[in-house]
Amino acid sequence: MGNSASLSIRVEPIAGSLGAVISGIDLAQELSPEQVAAIRQAWLKHLVIFFRDQPLSPARFLQFAQYFGEVIEYPFVKGLEDYPQIIPVVKLEHERVNFGGVWHSDTAYLDVPPMASMLIAREVPSAGGDTLFANMYDAHEALSPTMQRLLDGLVALNSSAKADVSKTREDRLKDSARQDAKQEYVAAHPAVRVHPETGRKALYVNIAHTTCFEGMTPEESAPILEYLFRHQVRPEFTCRFPWRPGSIAFWDNRCAQHNPVNDYHGYRRVMHRVTLAGDKPVGPAAR
């Protein structure tokens, strides 16, 4: 498999700001270095990429993820028995709250947040259960130069105990909490991070985890954060992905946020997720 294999890959954007569907590849097969490079290039360009009709076994799903980074375990919920790095993301028919059902960047409350997450759909409702994604490069670029300068110098505090995200985790904590999970994780990160691969600036605060700015009181931080939380998910910065069994989403946690839409009460939705190790966020001031 040479360059011709990567040339067969088709990348079709699904929105103006971010998101693309990749076709012309069978992820159940071994991938060539050229194919892996082509996928990574599309991922860095589009922030989130999607594949259709790839009903991978858990073992193959893990292998696919490992082409792009080191798979790590999630701090709160146990993984599958035979594959502890694969987290089941489940909403059952009787549940009203969905896991992670708020705009967020995954586990921004960790000192070293993940580079990326990958999700494969196992069971989905006949309608509903889409996931929204938002482009934090575009969100930063759309701010005024004065606001950009202010945020470029700020550090944001992030907590796993913020009410919105705790609520969306509670059903799974009842039945599959990890015994070693801490009660609360807190991390300080630049409000704007410089992407280590693209060099671009991305807004790095999110409504699920960010509590205030370092050196400011919560009251002083609140109006700025409330504005940013609204601004960063403006429709023109987003795309929306409808799932089918065997669909895969692979997003860049360093420059994209996501929000699973909770519009399918009474129906079951089962996904499997893996997380890839990242690096400590670096702000513009540190470069």
CA–CA gap between residue 142 and residue 171 (Å, rounded): 37
- Split at pLDDT 50, 70, 90, the class of 160 is confident
- Split at pLDDT 50, 70, 90, the class of 287 is low
Three-state DSSP state, 49: strand
Say what the pLDDT of residue 15 is. 98
* pTM score, whole prediction: 0.91
pLDDT per position as a tens digit, 78-126: 889 999 999 999 999 888 888 778 999 998 999 999 999 999 999 999 9
Strand ranges (E), the chain: 10-13, 20-23, 48-51, 71-72, 87-91, 116-123, 131-135, 155-159, 186-190, 192-194, 201-203, 210-213, 238-241, 248-252, 256-260, 269-276
pLDDT per position as a tens digit, 193-234: 999 999 999 999 999 999 999 999 999 999 999 999 999 999
Domain ranges of the chain: 3-279
Where is pLDDT greater, at 179 or 86? 86
Say what the pLDDT of residue 100 is. 77
Is residue 129 within 8 Å of residue 263, measured between CB atoms?
yes
pLDDT per position as a tens digit, 44-57: 999 999 999 999 99
Residues with a known catalytic role: 104, 106, 258, 273
Q: Dig out the tokens for 56 from the structure.
A: 């991978």
- Split at pLDDT 50, 70, 90, the class of 185 is confident
CA–CA gap between residue 68 and residue 76 (Å, rounded): 23
Size of the chain in residues? 287
> What's the topology of domain 3-279?
Double-stranded beta-helix (3.60.130)
Mean pLDDT of the residues in the chain: 90
User: Is the pLDDT assigned to residue 2 strictly greater than 90?
Assistant: no
Three-state DSSP state, 38: helix
User: What residues contact 107, with CB distance under 8 A and at least 6 apart?
Assistant: 74, 75, 113, 114, 160, 185, 275
User: Is the pLDDT assigned to residue 5 strictly greater than 70?
Assistant: no
Region label for 53, one of left (φ > 0), alpha (ψ between -120 and 50) or beta (otherwise):
left
CA–CA gap between residue 204 and residue 108 (Å, rounded): 9
Q: For the ranges 1-5, 105-109, 170-174, which has the lowest average pLDDT? A: 170-174
